[in-house]
């Protein structure tokens, strides 16, 4: 499930000397500068080799090009935090569940994730814009429908990302996002046989939204809107994830 956001304007002011150093300077330190500014570097990882087939769809595509998805820059790490409040088990259990699922998405897409630790931030799907001059890390959290109305009914989770144009090339890239999991659903699954596998599948589905996958009509794929017992990404899901991992830097 995706959320449509508006983006704020981010201004960057730098000196000519600093700009020249960042563009042409050698060394690991300046390579780190380039990663910060998203210029002149190669992708941090490579998408997996997956067999063709299946069905996938993108949440957003580039303006004027329906074949090019909006994606995260493969040359920057996706920073994320976890708020384990409301998750079943211990906070460590929640972090391990997230780390395992994120590692799967990273392996398929080639995108690199940077875990910044726990946070007390709470999910909100009502924000009007990306905070001026900064982009919050992705938040993965648990909540109930009283706090997050998007979880009402049979919704087990919501996920999505904010796209922003760089201005230089007019290309849209995701810059932040959220995954919110239904704490009541997870509590129920925690008491069921095979519940851990289902919890993982829900999280993988929402992480699929986070990196840019939309729902599909095929129940053979994990990105099918309803839970029909698919435990993991299927062939179409994986092909879509690979395509999203090949976005522009």
Query: What percent of the chain clears pLDDT 90, i.e. is strictly above it?
Result: 68
pTM of the complete model = 0.82
Residue 1 resides in a domain: no
Residue 30 resides in a domain: yes
User: Which range of residues forms the domain containing residue 101?
Assistant: 16-244
Per-residue pLDDT reduced to its tens digit, 127-186: 654 554 457 899 999 999 999 999 999 999 999 999 988 767 789 999 999 999 999 999
Residue 73 resides in a domain: yes
Residue 10 resides in a domain: no
Residue 3 resides in a domain: no
Residue 130 resides in a domain: yes
**Closest to 100 (Cα-Cα) out of 135, 140, 72, 73:** 140
The CATH code of the domain that includes 99 is 3.40.390.10
Per-residue pLDDT reduced to its tens digit, 125-141: 876 545 544 578 999 99
Mean pLDDT (the chain) is 83
Residue 9 resides in a domain: no
Distance CA 135, CA 78 (A): 11
Q: What is the DSSP string of the chain?
A: ---------------HHHHHHHHH--SHHHHHHHHHHT-S---SS-PPP--S-S---BS-EETTEEEEE-EE-TTS-EEEEEE-TT-SS-HHHHHHHHHHHHHHHHHHH---EEEEEE------S---SPPTT--PPEEEEEE-TTT-GGG-TT--EEEEEEEEE-SSS--EEEEEEEEEEEHHHHHHHHTSTTHHHHHHHHHHHHHHHHHTB--BS-TTSTTBSS-SS--S--HHHHHHHHHHTT---
Domains of the chain: total: 1
Contact 153, 146 (CB under 8 A): no
Walking along the chain (249 residues) 10 residues at a time, the average pLDDT comes out as: 25 25 37 48 92 96 90 96 96 97 98 97 75 75 95 94 82 94 96 92 97 97 92 97 95
Residue 45 vs residues 33, 77, 106, 111, 213: alpha-carbon distances, Å? 18, 10, 9, 6, 19
Residue 103 resides in a domain: yes
- Per-residue buried b or exposed e for 178-201, using 16+ beta carbons within 10 Å of the residue's own CB: bbbbbbebbbebeeeeebeebbbb
């Amino acid at each position: 499930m995706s959320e449509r956001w508006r983006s704020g304007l981010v201004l960057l002011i730098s000196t000519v000397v600093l700009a020249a150093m960042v563009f042409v300077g050698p060394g690991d330190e300046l390579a780190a500068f380039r990663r910060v500014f998203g210029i002149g570097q190669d992708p941090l990882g490579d998408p997996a080799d997956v067999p063709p087939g299946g069905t996938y769809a993108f949440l957003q595509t580039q303006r004027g090009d329906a074949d090019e998805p909006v994606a995260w820059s493969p040359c920057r790490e996706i920073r994320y935090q976890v708020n384990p409040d409301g998750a079943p088990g211990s906070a460590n259990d929640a972090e391990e569940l997230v780390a395992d699922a994120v590692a799967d998405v990273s392996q398929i897409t080639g995108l690199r994730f940077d875990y910044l630790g726990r946070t007390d931030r709470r999910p909100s799907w009502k924000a009007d814009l990306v905070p001026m001059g900064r982009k919050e890390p992705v938040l993965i959290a648990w909540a109930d429908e009283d706090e997050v109305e998007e979880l009402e009914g049979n919704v087990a989770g919501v996920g999505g990302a904010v796209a922003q144009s760089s201005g230089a090339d007019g290309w849209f890239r995701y810059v932040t996002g959220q995954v919110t999991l239904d704490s009541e659903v997870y509590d129920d699954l925690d008491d069921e046989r095979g519940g851990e596998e289902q919890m993982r599948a829900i999280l993988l589905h929402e992480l699929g939204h986070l990196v840019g996958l939309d729902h599909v009509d095929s129940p053979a794929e994990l990105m099918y809107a309803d839970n029909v017992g698919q435990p993991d990404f299927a062939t179409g899901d994986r092909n879509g994830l690979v395509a999203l991992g090949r976005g522009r830097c």
